Structures are given as structure tokens and as C-alpha cells.
Structure 1
Amino acid sequence: MIIVTGGAGFIGSNLVLGLNARGYDDILVVDHLTNGVKYRNLVDCKIADYLDRSTFLERLQQGAFHAEAIEAIFHQGACSSTTEWDGRYMMDNNYEYSKTLFHYCQSHKIPFIYASSAATYGADLTFKEELAYEGPLNVYGYSKFQFDQYLRRHSKLTAQVVGLRYFNVYGPREAHKGSMASVAFHLNNQIKDSDELRLFEGCDGYGNGEQRRDFVYVGDVVDINLWFLDHPQVSGIYNCGTGRSQTFNDVANAVIRYHQRGHIKYIPFPEHLKGCYQSFTEANLDNLRSTGCQHQFKSVEQGVQLYMEWLNR
């Protein structure tokens, strides 16, 4: 059995489908469906069972699972809202929960592959997996940062542990995220509504729409997770991005190119985001490549084309 926490979410449901494509269907999905529309992400997935996140943790701690039957745990479940400032909730949900799963996996020699985040870097522009370059700008980033730190204190591992620092992931099955869905998702909706694609005006020395992010297609993220499943001897914290930053204008132009219509309108940069906004991200892939992983990531032009075909089919 493979366990996927956050399995009804964006990356988690894509990961379940990726496992299905390999012939895995003995999958336990763990999530919480307070946002009930997330069920749609599981309709075409083959799974063995579903458990609420609280029920799962209780049963895990009670010894209800046959640990020897668990092949791996992919821990994708978390509150990923960068605008959530309830620190107590964030640390309980993202940090304490992760610690419990980590220790269970170590006790039973189960590979543990979890979602970290590029938000751990904050305003630093190096994006290398080292403490000197880390400084989160919000409590979400801090919750991920602190668990990475916790892992670093445990150098003697009994089983694989991999933290993947996701950069700006976009692609199918993110609609339930609402305002936190990718810019590609929102621009597709905007062009269908009015032919007008809205991007922020310039900030932090960047021109209108020229802020740069490492936009990574969700299919590539799934491939990286599965690469580590295939290489259980590799542990550590690794960036999961393309290694190439592109502009928000690039994303908008890819959406326009697909629809063959539309124009960009630049809107004032929001006051509430000033000082806690990453205007540039770009994954340093040296550590990932050093493991032997040579996966070739899609460009914005390639990934957005695939995504538009899926969204507008």
C-alpha cells in the first residue's frame, strides 16, 4: 500500500494518477473534504480507501495499520495558503503533523517523501538548499522551513526521507484552490470572461508583468516524486522547479497564444503584498542533479499549452 496525504488536493491527486499509470491502485488517500468540491479530483483515480486526516493520524498512532504493508508515504497534505496568518493552526497542521508521520516512517523503515516549499527562501535570491539562504516571509513558509530544520537534526536515518521544495506549480486539478490557484488558471478564466488578462504592475525594480517565477508544470512534479520512489537510497531536501525563471508576461502570452485572442492589462500592485511577495524565484538544481536525476522540465510555453488543452477540453 502507498499512502498519499493531501491526496484529494492539487499535487496529491495528480500524484495518485501518476501512481495509477504505473499500475498502483492499492492507495490510501488521506485528506479533509471541508471543501467538498475536492472530491472531483478523485473521481477518475483508482484508490483502495479514503480517510479523513484526523482519523488517519489517530489510527496511525493507535497502531491500526500493518506498517510492513506500507511501501511509502507521500506527504502532500498541508495548509498552503500564504495569506493565512493563524500561526497556531499552521504549525499544528503543517509542522506537528509532519513530525508524527516522519517518526512513524523512521520507526517502521518506510520511505517518506514530503512537500516542502520554495517559500522557505523568502527574499533571498540564491535558492540553494542551505540554511544561509533561507528566511521565510510568512507563517506558511516558516512552517515548512521549521520542518526542514527538524529533519536536518536527524542525520541518522533508518529509511529514505525526501523533502521537495516546490516552486510555482500549475496544472490540472487546482480549481478548488480558489485565489491560491496558479496565475495560468486565473488568466484562462479572465480571457474567457472578457479577453482581458490582468497582471500586477511592476515592483521591486521589475517592469509591468516582468516579475519572474520558476513556474513548474504539475506533471513534472509528479515525475520527480516518482523518481525518488524508484531511488530509495537517496535522502535529503531538494528543489523541485525547472531551474529557469520566466515572467508573468510569458504565462499570459502563452494563454493568449492558445486562445488566439486577448490582451494584457496591468493593475496596481496590492498594498497588502508589499514586503511579503517573492518577485523572483529560480530553483538551483545542483543538488537534484547530483543525485542522478536528469529529468527535463517543461518550459512555460510547453506546460501552459498542455494545461490550456486540459482546461478547455
Structure 2
Amino acid sequence: MVSDRALAVLRAIVQDYVASREPVGSKTIVDRHSFGVSAATIRNDMALLEEEELIAAPHTSSGRIPTDKGYRVFVDQLTDGRPLSPAQRQAIEVFLGESSDLDELLSRTVRLLAQLTQQLAVVQYPTFGSARVRHVELVPLGEARVLTVLIADNGHVEQRIVELPTVIDESVLGDARARINTAIGGLALADAVERLATGDDLGPANDAVVRTIVQALGEQAGAQRHERLVVAGAANLVRTEQDFSGNILGVIEAIEEQVVLLRLFGEMTNDVSGVAVRIGRENAAFGLGDASVVSTGFLNTATGFSRLGVLGPTRMDYSGNIVAVRAVARYLSRLLGDN
């Protein structure tokens, strides 16, 4: 059984090690923290923490560093975090509020979160699997270019500039627009993709212009159905390479395989504070045994629930990262809920 003072010693070790990257000894704890006891007493507490495998000595006659289990106890004991400053809160609101569309909003979100936390930031793109096609618009942009606009019933707009193989015939374009809306209007996106893939009757037979447009719309509908991630801050990960016991390339490869992070996000469940934290070996099954992930959800009233978070070494500022992740998610939910 670990005493309250020993838990406080663990907290001091975590905080000092995260700040300095140096193993922490009993004299350092006495000098930096107001425990009101001798270094010998602190050493006894540290011995108990080591017996419980909450701290460990990286080499002989050194100070101690937290283990994955020690970080877990530390995170579970957190009752509050360092609040964001008024300037930081205003920066979040202004920076995210300047976004013109969903793509820019999510791009700004990960860039901001990476800057606030100095970690790799990840946001899960809202999924549109349950959405239906409301309308398709084809806007000519020139003699051989057209803007294809796919509007879903959740308000999301997917648009693409399509280069056509030949000059646009206005009558053909108008006929294709009418046929396409009749064919896929009201369909679920998955059904729309299938219908467009077999859409020989969506325009004049063998018309290369119509085939190109239909193919582009099929890709647009398919893009909305699939889960994907937006990532920023890879340089932050590289700067902390020495905090990873193995080769950081393995971590980078796991991140590049977006399905890995999507699976991990799918298994994360928020605690009572509204945040989920996975530490070190808890992520081993995903090839991220040296990494920790702090995440939470954000709500879009049109598309449901997605996640955002940060990934970095186990030696991270959990308290600060939890506060930042939660704050950014709150603003993101508000902005998306207003759309």
C-alpha cells in the first residue's frame, strides 16, 4: 500500500523528470519540494515506490525515473491541470474561428494543438457514413473544366475541379446534372458510390465528358465515407527521439498507417474528466509501446462524434496536454455545432 506522501513523492519525480529528462534523487526532491522531512525519509518512500514498480533506476547509483505504471498512477491521481492563460484561450478562439471550411478548420486544429503541446497532434476527420446526397451541382469553369459540387444532407460540401477531355457541351452538362441528381439524390453515400460506378445511363452513351464527371463524383462520395486523420507536428516527435527506447522509425511507421491510430482511437474511452490517456505498454499492440496518447472527443451535430489528441513519448507533460486537448476539443465542438 502506497502512502499519500509516497504518492506525492511520485508526483514530484514525474514532474521533475518530465522537466529535466534527468533521473531524480532524494536530495533533489528535498531541495525542490516542501515535504518537511529528511532525505533519508524520502529515500524510504522511493524504495516503496520502486517495490511497487512505479519508479526504476535507469542505471546503478542513479536517481529514479517513472515507469509506465508510475505514469499511469500519476495520471489517475490528477485532479486538475494547469489552466490555459487568457491569451492562449483567445488564440484558440481566434485562430480556429478564422477557418473558412471544414478542411481548413481541421488543419488549423492540429497545427494549433501541436504548437500548444509540442507533441504530434492528430484529429479524426468527422465521418459521413450515414449522410445522404442532397444535391449535385456542375459548374462550368471554362471550355474544358467543371466544378463538381456534392452536397450532403448534413451540410457538408465536397467540391473538386475536374479537367475534361474535351470542350463542354452545355446541353450535355445540363442533361448530366439532371440525370445524376435523379439517380443519386437522397441515396446514402455508400449507395451513391455504387450507383455512380454503374452509371452508364447517366449521360449520352460513351460521352467522355460525362464519364469523367461521374468518376469524379464517385470519388468525392467515397472520400466522405472513409475515416481519415489529419496530422501535424511530426518535427516535435523527432525532437524527442531520445525519449524512445527503440527506433523512432517504428513509431513513425505506425503513425503513417492511419488505420493503426484509427483503431487506437476507437478503443479509447474518456474518463470522468472527459479525456482518455493511454501510456506506453498499454499501446504495445499498436506498435506504440514507447508512446503515450492523450485524446478526447469533439461533437459535430451533423456528423456525430470524432476524436482528437496528441501522441508523444511517455515522458510528456500529461497535465498540460490534457488541459490543451480538452480546451481545443471544446472550441472545435462549438464551431462545428454552429455549422
Q: Same fold (TM over 0.5)?
A: no
Give the TM-score normalised by the residue count of structure 2.
0.24
Q: Which has the greater radius of gyration?
A: 2
Give the TM-score normalised by the residue count of structure 1.
0.26
